[in-house]
Amino acid sequence: MNITRLKSGSYRIRQDHNGMTYSVTVPYKPSKREATDLINEKINNSVDKIMTFEKAAVQYISAKDNVLSPSTLRGYDSVRRSIPEWFNKQDITEIDTFQVQRLINEYAASHSPKTVRNLHSFVLAVIRLFIPEVNISTTLPQKVRREPYAPSKEDISKLFEYTKGSEYYVALKLAALSLRCSEICALTLDDLDGDNLTVDKALVPGIDGLTLKPTPKTDSSNRVIVIPHDLSEYIREQGYIYRQHPNSIDRYLSKSLKKLGIPHFGIHTLRHFFASYAHDLGYSDAVIQSIGGWSSDHIMKSVYRHAMREDEAKKSMAKDFNF
């Protein structure tokens, strides 16, 4: 506790408590006991009234629990729990650009640029919900462009040959037919009619575990696709589509690729493969978008058509431009 005489002749009592600074000003010089009583009263009266960032963040997530997907809410909660204590205890009405920039700078030391940007977006969203007029401008780390590995048809054929007979085979095949992991994990035998497979739900991670959503990622995701007859028969003979945890697919895929000597990629990359291979075969963007359940051709083109043989294109271009 610190007691300071001001130019006005008054005395200011200041004390730090749980990362916050509290002060009381009185027109006389207080005794130590009086100062202690006054500052404790200030602290006790203020604790419940201050809207800390942590409280605001919890309320922000709670206010959106019926409009956002469980996976998005889970992501928000994960970000919230990773925010350091010193920032969480700040009065949200007192947070300024300097404090947010300090948070970003500290966070960037141990997190990827993408993770830092996610944190930044969440923090600003929380602040602006309670203080709409706030103006915070920060500098973020530069984005790192990562070129994902694009598996070839030969890679995929080797993978399917190796995994056939395992409980993951059907899931991997469906991923290469455009399905998202969350869609695959939500499927049951009732969704298979002949060779027609109805995709109208998703199993996604939420704050309290896995949650079955009645609709997939976007409205465009509701669709019926036709799968190869051999795969339909395989599913019926097996008696199920997939019954393990969603995360188990990527773990199994990683081990399989390592044994096959194929560069690592995740199950979602099989969806990339579907788009690029279908395009190579001459199918129109409209057909690929419809079967894959993309919400727009812009998303499909910007994200998934990049998976087409870029390395091969570069080599061919080097020859074509060798004047």
In the chain, which residues fall in CATH 1.10.443.10? Answer: 153-316
Residue 311 has pLDDT above 50, yes or no: yes
Alpha-carbon distance 301 to 97, whole Å?
37
| CA 269 to chain CA centroid, nearest Å | 17
Instruction: Identify the pLDDT of residue 84.
Output: 95
Q: Which fold has domain 153-316?
A: hpI Integrase; Chain A (1.10.443)
Q: Which pLDDT score, from 0 to 100, does residue 119 have?
A: 95
Q: Write down the CATH superfamily of domain 53-130.
A: Tyrosine recombinase, N-terminal domain (1.10.150.130)
- Helix spans in the chain (H): 32-47, 53-63, 70-82, 85-88, 97-108, 113-130, 153-163, 169-175, 181-186, 229-238, 246-260, 267-280, 285-292, 297-299, 310-320
pLDDT at 49: 63
pLDDT tier at 22, thresholds 50, 70, 90: confident
On the question of pLDDT at 308 being above 50, the answer is no
Average pLDDT over residues 39-56: 79
Question: What is the pLDDT at residue 319?
Answer: 59
DSSP label at 141? P
- Tell me the C-alpha distance between 292 and 217, whole Å: 12
Q: How much is the average pLDDT of 151-170? A: 95
**pLDDT of the residue at 95:** 92
pLDDT at 323: 45
Q: Nearest to residue 65, comparing CAs of 159, 220, 206?
A: 206
pLDDT at 101: 96
Amino acid at 34: E
At 209-245, the pLDDT tens digits run 788 887 666 667 889 999 999 999 999 999 999 999 9
pLDDT band at 317 (very low <50, low <70, confident <90, very high): low
Q: What angle do CA 213, 177, 161 make, to 5 degrees?
A: 120
Cβ burial, residue 124 (10 Å; 0-12/13-18/19+): middle
Q: Can you give the pTM of this predicted structure?
A: 0.63
Query: What average pLDDT score do residues 109-121 get?
Result: 93
Residue range(s) of every CATH 1.10.150.130 domain in the chain: 53-130
| pLDDT the model gives residue 292 | 87
Tens-digit pLDDT profile for residues 170-219: 999 999 999 999 999 999 999 999 999 999 999 988 767 788 887 666 66
> Which residue carries 């009086």 as its tokens?
34
Return d(Cα 133, Cα 230) in angstroms, integer: 60
User: Residue 115: which pLDDT band, with cuts at 50, 70 and 90?
Assistant: very high
* pLDDT of 165 strictly over 70: yes
Mean pLDDT of the chain: 86
The arithmetic mean of pLDDT across residues 273-294, rounded, is: 86
Amino acid identity, residue 275? Answer: A
Looking at residue 299, what is its pLDDT? Answer: 60
